[in-house]
Amino acid sequence: MIKKILIVDDSPIARKMLKSCLPKDQGYEFHEAGDGKEGCEKYTQVRPDITFMDLTMPVMTGYEAIEEIVKNDITALIIVVTADVQMKAIKRVLDLGAYMVLKKPLKREEIQSVLLKVQDTLQKAE
């Protein structure tokens, strides 16, 4: 059951766009962070069910944040959201432990389908 969602992106507009794609009637608890370092701190505090992570951020990049989070919680479910989907970048984040990569700009239907898949994964884990 997805309850807590953490969105890590340095662009407030990107965070707004992502939130708007997520269903409003599921009672999700949203948490946000503006850079990778803040994202790691929030993760430790909140322990979200899903983390949406941008890659190019100041202070600490998405790559570094994924590595840090996965190091402390191997079960972390991190979905990378990026405009740059070059194979090298995708491979790198998946090797670091990301769950999947989504391409910006996001579409509502795509997010719905991802949430169903994640829900399924979480239920199997339980």
Partner 1 sequence: MDTEAQSTQDFSDEEVEILQEIMNIAFGQSASDLAEVIDTQVVLAVPFIKIMQVPELPVYIKENVKKYKQISIVEQKFWGKLKGDALLIFSSGSGKALIKMLQSDDRQGMDTGPVDILERETLMEVGNILIGACVGKLAELLHDIVTYTPPLVLVEKEYEEAITSGHYDPEKTAIVLKTDFLFERGNVSGFLFLVTSNESIKWLRDALKIFIEQYE
Chain residues binding partner 1 by CB under 8 A are 11-14, 16-17, 20-21, 56, 82-88, 103-105
Length of the chain: 126
Cα separation of 44 and 109, whole Å? 30
Nearest to 80 by CA among 44, 71, 64: 64
Contact 54, 11 (CB under 8 A): yes
Nearer to partner 1, 89 or 122 (CB): 89
Nearer to partner 1, 9 or 49 (CB): 9
* Smallest separation, CB 83 to partner 1 (Å): 2
- In angstroms, what CA-CA distances link 111 with 17, 39, 52, 67? 11, 21, 11, 24
* Smallest separation, CB 10 to partner 1 (Å): 8
* Smallest separation, CB 31 to partner 1 (Å): 19
Q: Give the Cα-Cα-Cα angle 15, 105, 55 (nearest 5 degrees).
A: 60
Nearer to partner 1, 21 or 122 (CB): 21
Nearer to partner 1, 24 or 124 (CB): 24
* Smallest separation, CB 11 to partner 1 (Å): 5
